[in-house]
Amino acid sequence: MKLRVMIVLLAFALLPLASSSIFIEPLKNVYNYGDQISVDTVIVPSTTTASHYIVDLKCGTTISYNIFNNFLQAQSGIEKPVVVVTELLNPLLENLTDPCYLRASFGGELVNSNTFTLSKVLNLESELEFDSLNPGNTFRISGNSITKSGVPVNGFVELFIPSLNLYKSSIITDGEFNLTIYLPLNAKSGEHDYKLEVHNTDYNSKKINFGSNAGKFTIGQILKEVKINVNEENAKPESDFIFRVDAIDQAGDIILKEVSLTINQPKGIPFIKKVIKSGEDQKISFMLSDLPGYWSIETDVEGIKNRKLFYLAEVNRLQSSLIDDTLIITNIGNALYNGPIEISVGDIVEIRQIKLGPGQTEKLSISAPDGEYKIAIVDKEGEAKELGSAFLTGNAVKVTNFKEDFIYTFTSPLIWWLGVALLVLVVILVQVKIRIQKMPRPSPAPSPTTQSDNVFKPSKIEFTPNTRSNIDSKTTSSKKFDMSWLNNKPKPIVSAPASVPFSTAPKVNPVNLFGVENHGIRERAAAIALYVTSNSPAVLNTMNRALSLAQENGAKVYVDGDYKIVLFSPRLTRNQDNERSAVNVARRMQAIFLEHMSMSSEGNFGLGVSDGEIISEIEGGKFHFTSTGNLISYAKRLAHASNAKLLISDSIRRKLISTVKAEKSPYQGVWEVTKVIDYSPSKDFIKRFSDRNK
């Protein structure tokens, strides 16, 4: 203040006496709207004066308003300092672009200050801590802001990230600010723009000055999931099965990655192993000979794995050809063909029951009254095929196989009569020959030369029984028929042991895929019923994962309406303790569904386990069973009532009381599994998911 007065007095001393007696301190070139102006003025009248001291703010040619008006009395030649203070908040100044100045008047004297401009701009500088971040990181930015007139801002700062729909605000104190904002885990990868805005306000919280700047930062792409997408859930031989493996980042966008792919046949036999690109359609062409059943697609992308099951359908298809009067039928499908076929011989249709495994062939002989006939065949699927024409012989239209021809030949009365006639003829011929050999031979007449004493006399041949038999055998061996087979009697059938009721001779049954004889047996089994209320792709994928656990443990999976039935029997699993296996598998299936429900609200499920007796049978390599009690229906009722719990029957609870902890449910005779004491490798698996879903 003293320095300002000294400057004013010095200026006054240097001016001539005729100059103005009012002096105004020089103003800054720029002021911000809302700034406070405090200016020193000095009045030095040449004569003692008493008058109003008036100071006006003038801008351009139109704006003028008074900012100071006070009655003063000043002595001649004595300095009168006056401080003029005002705030630039008049609404008239809001959008002003013309320069302004102060005009002071006292006792008829007028003095103008230097001009200045009004601004609403705030200068802003900022610094980003990191320009490359990952989802879940913290975005930090700091900076400072001053007015155009050079005053540190006390106001507010705002951060906008439109592409992520993020916003954060903070306070600026003495021109300094710091902002921190959390990036979501699902933040979209790539480059993002951000914008900073600063402002200050008047006493009514109205924004009066503004400033802004902008910048960019990058969010990295993180692999979060691997999805296997298929066009159809079931595949068919002789058609293309198309699927795609998608690598998904944190925002659900597709990433281009190398994928380790394995396609497995049923029973886990590898079919294809290769490396593919994610996001590209893959095609598998199945042949008719490929094994039907549940196949699996297994993928691995940077340690993130996925598995999906699909079903290769069974195809029954016959290939037929005609060679002369022989019809050759081959099963070229991938499953057992067991059903009728229609064979058209001219206008007559013969029905034959055919049972052929994959790759097996049967030959049929066709006979008909002499003539040429058109031959056609229709299988059980209704597919017709004309095989051409053949010249046939016979008494009637007939279609037989080799076995039937053989039996017919040797059971025909005509053949038997011919055989008997032949046998009688042979016996007669043998008897005639024997009699001829027994007849005496006449001696030859002596010739004239035989009258001498040295006449030659043939020696007499003595026929002993051995000699005659040898001669007979030599003379008849080339003409005899060997009829010894008529004397071969069939071997007697050995009676079955007394311990086997209703049994004749023991017979050898064909061995099926499981190595078990093909007849029904009674055995104790356990069943899991799975009830799912949604058919969305995500739920179906979870269900496939759960059912694959059952198949890996040797169980069979059946579809019963809205239920999936998983059957454990000794014949399937080679294990008598199937109740324990069923509860362990059901517990793991429950963990998989609970994990799904923790991430998605769609769908609910139920699990029930019961046990009972079944009669099982394996026919043509396929397992069949009949429940003798309420094994399946009781498991379904438990699943329907469970509501994401695992319910078991009282009989299973009593059998596994040492390893399964269960609580009494509201339903009579039903228990809820709370803990399974399991020392198998799946122990950690179950515990991890149970803890997660508590």
What does the angle CA 182 – CA 251 – CA 689 come to, to the nearest 5 degrees? 90
Nearest Cα to 365, choosing from 320, 319, 399? 399
CATH number of the domain residue 250 falls in = 2.60.40.1930
In a domain, 506, yes or no: no
Do residue 53 and residue 152 come from a single domain? no
In a domain, 453, yes or no: no
* Domain total of the chain: 5
Read off the pLDDT of residues 616-626 as tens digits, 9 standing for 90 and up: 888 877 888 88
Do residue 114 and residue 128 come from a single domain? no
User: How do beta strands 270-277 and 100-106 pair?
Assistant: unpaired
SS (H, E, C) 549-576: HHHHCCCEEEEECCEEEEEECHHHHCCC
Question: Could you tell me which residues are beta bridge partners of residue 589?
Answer: none
- Our separate counts of H helices and E strands in the chain read 10, 42
Question: Of 312, 341, 367, which closes a domain?
Answer: 312
Do residue 165 and residue 208 come from a single domain? yes
b/e map of 330-356 (b: 16 or more CB within 10 Å)?
bbbbbbbbeeebebbbbeeeeebebeb
What does the angle CA 631 – CA 634 – CA 638 come to, to the nearest 5 degrees? 135
Query: What residues of the chain score a pLDDT lower than 50?
Result: 1-3, 5, 8-20, 443-518, 689, 693
Copy the structure tokens of residue 61: 């040619």
In a domain, 354, yes or no: yes
Residue with tokens 């009593």: 654
Helix (H, G, I), strand (E, B), or coil: what is residue 657?
Answer: coil
b/e map of 283-318 (b: 16 or more CB within 10 Å)?
ebebeeebbbbbbbbbbebeeeebebbbebebbbbb
pLDDT on residue 192: 93
Read off the pLDDT of residues 575-591 as tens digits, 9 standing for 90 and up: 888 899 999 999 999 89
Nearest Cα to 569, choosing from 552, 586, 585, 581? 581
Q: How far apart are CA 403 and CA 364, in angstroms?
A: 10
pLDDT on residue 475: 34
Question: Of 376, 411, 446, which closes a domain?
Answer: 411
pTM of the shown model = 0.47
Q: How far apart are CA 538 and CA 40, in angstroms?
A: 79
Do residue 150 and residue 190 come from a single domain? yes
Do residue 537 and residue 562 come from a single domain? yes
In a domain, 169, yes or no: yes
* Beta strands per DSSP E along 16-121: 22-24, 30-32, 36-43, 49-59, 63-74, 80-87, 100-106, 109-112, 117-119
Do residue 664 and residue 624 come from a single domain? yes
pLDDT on residue 518: 47
Q: How far apart are CA 657 and CA 652, in angstroms?
A: 8
In a domain, 492, yes or no: no
Q: How far apart are CA 64 and CA 72, in angstroms?
A: 22
In a domain, 148, yes or no: yes
If you ran DSSP here, which 8-state letter would residue 313 be given? Answer: P
In a domain, 142, yes or no: yes
Residue with tokens 């058609």: 239
Q: How far apart are CA 213 and CA 160, in angstroms?
A: 11
Nearest Cα to 122, choosing from 158, 153, 165, 163? 153
Do residue 261 and residue 355 come from a single domain? no
In a domain, 426, yes or no: no
Range of the domain at 69: 2-119
Do residue 191 and residue 143 come from a single domain? yes
Q: How far apart are CA 662 and CA 655, in angstroms?
A: 12
Question: Of 268, 294, 312, which closes a domain?
Answer: 312
- The end-to-end CA distance of the chain, in Å, is 74
CATH number of the domain residue 356 falls in = 2.60.40
Do residue 559 and residue 674 come from a single domain? yes
Read off the pLDDT of residues 389-414 as tens digits, 9 standing for 90 and up: 887 887 777 787 766 655 655 566 77
Do residue 62 and residue 36 come from a single domain? yes
CATH number of the domain residue 14 falls in = 2.60.40.10
Q: How far apart are CA 134 and CA 187, in angstroms?
A: 8
Do residue 306 and residue 330 come from a single domain? no
Q: How far apart are CA 304 and CA 677, in angstroms?
A: 29
Do residue 544 and residue 660 come from a single domain? yes
